[in-house]
Homo-oligomer: A and B are copies of this chain.
Amino acid sequence: MRRQANLAAQMSLTVVGSIAYDAVTTPFGERERMLGGAATHFALAASFFDQVRVIGPVGDDFDAQSWEVLQTRGTITDDVEQVAGGKTFFWKGEYHDNLNSRETHVTELNVFEEFKPKLSQEAKDCDVLFLANIVPDLQNEVRGQCQKARFVAMDSMDLWINIARDSLVETIAGVDCLILNDEELELLTEAPNFVAAANEILDWGPSSVIAKQGKYGAALFTKDGYFALPAFPLASVIDPTGAGDSFAGGFVGYVAAHPERPIDHELLTQAMVYGTALASFNVEDFGTERIVELSGNEIAARVGELQQMTTFAHQPIALRS
């Protein structure tokens, strides 16, 4: 645990999830060891919107530069548990076929294997909570400790759908928003498409479901409506690692930044746009490299572009019969 000098009292956004070192090869280059992990990517994106508190384990090998990156834009790392004698979670993967497929070469859970989230009182008192992809039972336990949270969102993955479906369904029932890849929504519900899948999950407990669609964009389902936003068009994508967590960071961060507004379809729609913008920056370079140096002005400009690219004037036309 590393104490920071100025603990802000107003922090309100807690994230629990992995902090990792990644080795990544894409058709456009490679990195042998770069800071990664779901909580890292989430925090870097969300820190534009609110002060973030990260919960997750690292090992002795977690270096000064990594602490610094994690603390970008004031993110609090007091709840990051540095396990003595342990090694940080390590993932090595390679992207093929124009980034359309991903192959995992190495997964070393290391300190993540025995991870039991310990929340400080400040972490428990969070206003907004994001449960990044970890064992569903742990997500549920953390969720239970954050009773004051007015918005709880979660991610998951196919692994838990396949080996811990009951726990996952129970965990989903306790959150406000499920953010999942569209194919995982179908796998989870056995529905024939993500529209039917998301609609079914709205009956399980969450008041909103987001279907992430990778390079195509994302779709939001709430009890009040549907909203879909295409991805920002990039002619050059360097590394997709962390795109989903950057999306979640922008999306959940936007909600956290608006404590005065009701968390309704309109707010979540606007949050989707910021999630989409952050995800698009994330993939422009390896790992955290682009988001670390990103400016608020760049985000604002991209949001404006996204609006222009998706807006049309509805001109009614006399149709033949």
Contacts and interface: CB of A to CB of B under 8 A. Distances in A.
B215 A193 contact: yes
If over half of A's interface residues share one DSSP class (helix, strand or loop), that class is named, otherwise mixed; here it is mixed
Given A49-B317, A98-B186, A219-B233, 17 more contacts: A50-B320, A98-B192, A99-B193, A192-B236, A193-B234, A196-B236, A216-B216, A217-B217, A228-B230, A229-B312, A254-B317, A269-B312, A270-B313, A270-B314, A272-B312, A303-B316, A310-B312
Place the interface of chain A in its size category.
Answer: 35 or more
Interface string A246-274: 00000000100100000000100110111
27 contacts: A27-B192, A49-B319, A98-B186, A98-B192, A98-B193, A99-B192, A99-B193, A192-B236, A195-B235, A196-B236, A213-B216, A219-B233, A225-B308, A225-B309, A227-B309, A229-B312, A230-B230, A266-B313, A270-B315, A296-B318, A296-B320, A303-B314, A303-B316, A307-B312, A310-B310, A310-B311, A311-B311
A235 B196 contact: yes
Interface string A51-91: 10000000000000000000001100000000000000000
